[in-house]
Amino acid sequence: AQTVTQSQPEMSVQEAETVTLSCTYDTSESDYYLFWYKQPPSRQMILVIRQEAYKQQNATENRFSVNFQKAAKSFSLKISDSQLGDAAMYFCAYRTFFISNFGNEKLTFGTGTRLTIIP
């Protein structure tokens, strides 16, 4: 079974600065997907960024980028130029690649990191 670990329950960063949220995972699979979801106070889970394990290039989405280290099973999220609207819970998630039966399409989540932005 896959596991996802987020070792930082809380993080804070000054507005306009850069912050990195860490995530490690454990799997025996070679192909999979990794995601970062953001959960603001509105409680909706919003997809921030996605990484395919078979791609060596790190995914980037505007101010959000990841550092994907497949051998180390590490998937950190970097937020540049932090904004007040970035304050939220951030969840790292894992999804298996192969759909042998439909039940494999579920996500495995970490416990989350609460990010606070200091004005």
Partner 1 sequence: ETGVTQTPRHLVMGMTNKKSLKCEQHLGHNAMYWYKQSAKKPLELMFVYSLEERVENNSVPSRFSPECPNSSHLFLHLHTLQPEDSALYLCASSQDDSGATEAFFGQGTRLTVV
* Interface residue list for partner 1 (CB under 8 A): 4, 9, 33, 35, 37, 42-47, 50, 52, 91, 95-99, 101-103, 105-111
CB closer to partner 1 out of 13 and 49: 49
CB 44 within 8 A of CB 95: no
CB closer to partner 1 out of 54 and 69: 54
CB closer to partner 1 out of 98 and 119: 98
**C-beta of 61: minimal distance to partner 1 in Å?**
13
CB closer to partner 1 out of 25 and 79: 25
3-state SS assignment for residue 86: helix
**C-beta of 60: minimal distance to partner 1 in Å?**
17
SS3 of 11-53: EEEECCCCEEECCEEECCCCCEEEEEEEECCCCCCEEEEEEEC
